[in-house]
Amino acid sequence: MKRTIFAAALVSMITWWTPAVRAFCGFYVAKADTKLFNKASQVVLVRDGDRTVITMANDFEGEPKDFAVVIPVPTFLTRGQIHVGEKALVDHLDAYSAPRLVEYFDQNPCELADRVPMAMRAASVLEARPGVGGRGLAKSLGVTIEAQYAVGEYDILILSAQQSSGLETWLRENGYRIPAGASDVIGSYLKQNMRFFVAKVNLPEQARLGFKYLRPLQIAYESPKFMLPIRLGMVNAKGSQELFVYALTRNGRVETTNYRTVKLPSDVELPVYLKQPNEFAGFYKAMFARQANDRAGRAVFLEYAWDMKWCDPCSADPLSNDELRRLGVFWADDRDSRVFLSRLHVRYDAAHFPEDLVFQETGDRANFQGRYVLRHAWTGQDVCAAATDYRQTLVERHAREAEQLSQLTGWTMADIRTKMGPEAPVRVQPAAWWERLWRP
Amino acid sequence: MNDPRLYQIGTLASLLVYGMGWLDFDITPGRVALLLTTVLATQWIGDRVSRTGSSFGSSARSALISGLSLCLLLRTNRTELAIAAAVITIAGKFLIRIDSKHVFNPTNGGIVAMLLVTNQVWVSPAQWGTETFFAFLMACAGSLVVTRAARTDVTFAFLACYCALLFGRSWYLGEPAAIPWHRLESGALLLFTFFMISDPKTTPDSRIGRLLFGALVAWGAWYVQFRLFRTNGLLWSLAACSTLVPFINRIAPGSRYVWSTSPAALTSSRTLRAA
């Protein structure tokens, strides 16, 4: 059976005043991780100077024998520059940086005097094989097999070629299912002196190693190119694709230089029914779709930007230096542990993302996270002037929460009111101004 | 409108308001006030110390253009670096001079100097997005109408060469035309083309010199982006090419440009001199 090129999503890679540190309060409730999205690719992009380490994780669910990946890379890679990583590390990074839901509980307004400002309640945060094709055939097609390696359960080839058609033919003849129209894209990468990294699964080796899933591939190289080639994956792709980039850098936030990088709406108060199972996931997907659409489908979204040393609230513990090193953060040790994580989320297709993603590292170390807030109402029966006022503001708050949810997701107010149940905003006549005038 | 700088100030201020209000630019009103105050203060001091004789009312317009451009382009989380950038931007006009003329476009010089000395400042070339490109284009093109007396030939020379290089590269690589078009749909490129490279005070004096200069800047920007694979090719290239302007003026002399603030100044032989 022909191998399906999983270039799809995969990123066909080639490659006096400090910012205010805000303490966030709130109990962590849930996260919206990458598992929400079908066919999502995840790439960990470690970069410092010209040194780059890329970890490519995929959610390929077919037979391992059908798996293959073709990735443009900017330089030749020796055996030592290729490694098989651990999916658990990527999952940890995903969990650590995922947009999160936090909740607060209103206090009895009659005891307001006892209230402690949020900024002082930080403690309340939960800590939460060779043999592919023949060299003879390759030569006749102008394709050079520059190297072939067996790395873990993968057979890897580094290919260069004089002509894209030769490389395309070679790949087809060797059982790789190349989408029609890929030739032009392959050609443009070849003319830029890029090599092709081709990997497929060595089934006996996989059986021997005992892994039931495909572990992520890692490559390390030195090149001024700070980019991810996505064009090959878009050839003949149906619909848009989902890509998560976790950029780990020393200096600060990473952004794209050829597409606008936009912060996802954050710190928004929403109706508390979102705490119910699957509601937050549904909210997040709808919100992301609307945000992408509002920006003409051409923006890259920043979901998280944080110093790796800490988090608040934590949806997962920060990664240890050891974990970071295994992900390729080569400078992380006891002396230098400055690691800044930027989580970028891209929904792309050929119409809106004609060229590869190009990045730059900025000096921005300001913290940002996709954070959505639930505030549970106080439901006590105490009677006092403050409680009366509180109940009035509660009605306004619930109305505001519903409107914000509707604006972010495009959901109708009628649907939101139904789901909010007893908390649904009701149109009440606001108290007349004189009703408070001579109240004791 | 006699002084085209007034139109430029209006356009840049509108772009800044739009960027802050609708595009979430990473700059606060406080930072804007700080940058503008610093450039004006530095200009005032520079005028006094250098005894140029020009009125502050006129030189403040140039300083405001530089300050607004800084607000649109320069990003940093550190206040002292923002102040340093504003001071260098204006002080460079007084300190780095050849033939009684400043060498670098002030904003360009200020940003490049800061990029060279610290990794705590950056420029976000994609901050404009592409959704409102054509409205942006119209606003910039408007400046051409207003500055028709000024030296727009350098703008056209640069644009023509830059387009040729972008399309030529994509044609050679077999890329679809959507790729060079996407690269051209850039607010940063428009800002550079209509408000920075067109600065009549730092471009060569003769027409042939300006055409050559525009072509050189385009080639340099292309080289930085597609050969060195670095960001901000336009800014690096303009700064590098600006150092060639005195030589270009020697080879191809022309008359020096002076901002007109009144109809009388336009015809004043005192302010125009043959090189």
Listed residues A347, A376, A405: the one ending a domain = A376
Give the number of residues written for chain A: 440
Quick check: A14 pLDDT over 90? no
Supply the mean pLDDT for chain B: 85
Q: Could you tell me which of B244, B223, B242, B221 has the C-alpha nearest to residue B233?
A: B221
Q: What is the pLDDT of residues A390-409, one digit of tens each?
A: 888 888 888 999 999 999 99
ipTM: 0.88
Question: Does A405 map to a domain?
Answer: yes
Q: What is the pLDDT of residues A343-359, one digit of tens each?
A: 999 999 988 999 999 99
What is d(CA B137, CA A220) in angstroms, rounded to the nearest whole number?
42
Residue A439 pLDDT class (50, 70, 90 cuts): low
Give B71 to chain A, closest Cα distance, Å.
Answer: 16
Residues A109 and A227 in one domain: yes
Listed residues A331, A354, A376: the one ending a domain = A376
Residues A256 and A353 in one domain: yes
Kindly state the percentage of chain A with pLDDT values over 70. Answer: 83
Residues A395 and A284 in one domain: no
Quick check: A125 pLDDT over 50? no
Residues A249 and A266 in one domain: yes
End-to-end CA separation in angstroms for chain B: 28
CB contact under 8 A, A364 and B228: no
DSSP element (H, E) containing B140 = helix B133-146
Q: Under a CB-based contact definition with an 8 Å cutoff, are residues A281 and A292 in contact?
A: no
pLDDT at A209: 84
Q: What is the pLDDT of residues B30-70, one digit of tens each?
A: 999 999 999 999 999 988 888 766 778 788 898 999 999 99
Candidate from A219-233, A315-329, A419-433 with smallest mean pLDDT: A419-433
- Count: domains in chain A: 2
Residues A311 and A440 in one domain: no
Residues A227 and A347 in one domain: yes
Give A191 to chain B, closest Cα distance, Å.
Answer: 6
Question: Does A296 map to a domain?
Answer: yes
Residue A31 pLDDT class (50, 70, 90 cuts): low
- Compare CB distances from A366 to B77, B125, B229 and report the shortest one's residue: B77
**Structure-block tokens of residue A329:** 């953060």
Supply the mean pLDDT for chain A: 81
Residue A111 pLDDT class (50, 70, 90 cuts): confident
**Average confidence (pLDDT) over A16-45:** 57
Q: What is the pLDDT of residues A245-269, one digit of tens each?
A: 999 999 999 999 999 999 999 999 9
Q: What is the pLDDT of residues B109-138, one digit of tens each?
A: 999 999 999 999 999 999 988 777 766 776
Query: Could you tell me how many CB contacts below 8 A there are between chain A and chain B?
Result: 91
Quick check: A123 pLDDT over 50? no
Candidate from A127-131, A183-187, B200-204, B223-227 with smallest mean pLDDT: A127-131
**Average confidence (pLDDT) over A284-305:** 92
**Structure-block tokens of residue A29:** 């409730």
For residue A114, what are the contacts with CB-CB under 8 A and spacing of at least 6? A107
**Domain of A391, in residue numbers:** 379-440
**Average confidence (pLDDT) over A138-153:** 85
CB contact under 8 A, A224 and B228: yes
Give A289 to chain B, closest Cα distance, Å.
Answer: 17
Give the B-side interface with A, CB within 8 Å.
Answer: 23-24, 26, 75-80, 118-122, 124-131, 172-176, 178-179, 181-183, 228-231
Quick check: A127 pLDDT over 50? no
pLDDT at A167: 84
What is d(CA A174, CA A134) in angstroms, rounded to the nearest whole number?
9
Residues A299 and A165 in one domain: yes
**Average confidence (pLDDT) over B140-158:** 73
Residues of B in contact with A256 (CB under 8 A): 126
Residues A331 and A213 in one domain: yes
pLDDT at A18: 25
Q: What is the pLDDT of residues A206-238, one digit of tens each?
A: 888 877 778 899 999 999 999 999 888 887 677
Residues of A in contact with B80 (CB under 8 A): 16-17
Residues A146 and A56 in one domain: yes
Residues A301 and A363 in one domain: yes
Residues A291 and A407 in one domain: no
**Average confidence (pLDDT) over B147-159:** 78
Question: Does A24 map to a domain?
Answer: no
CB contact under 8 A, A226 and B229: yes
Kindly state the percentage of chain B with pLDDT values over 90. Answer: 51
Q: Select the residue from A168, A262, A364, A367 to test the B interface by mutation, using most B Cβ atoms within 10 A.
A: A364
Residues of A in contact with B121 (CB under 8 A): 363
Question: Does A23 map to a domain?
Answer: no
Residues A203 and A243 in one domain: yes
What is d(CA A62, CA B151) in angstroms, rounded to the nearest whole number?
63
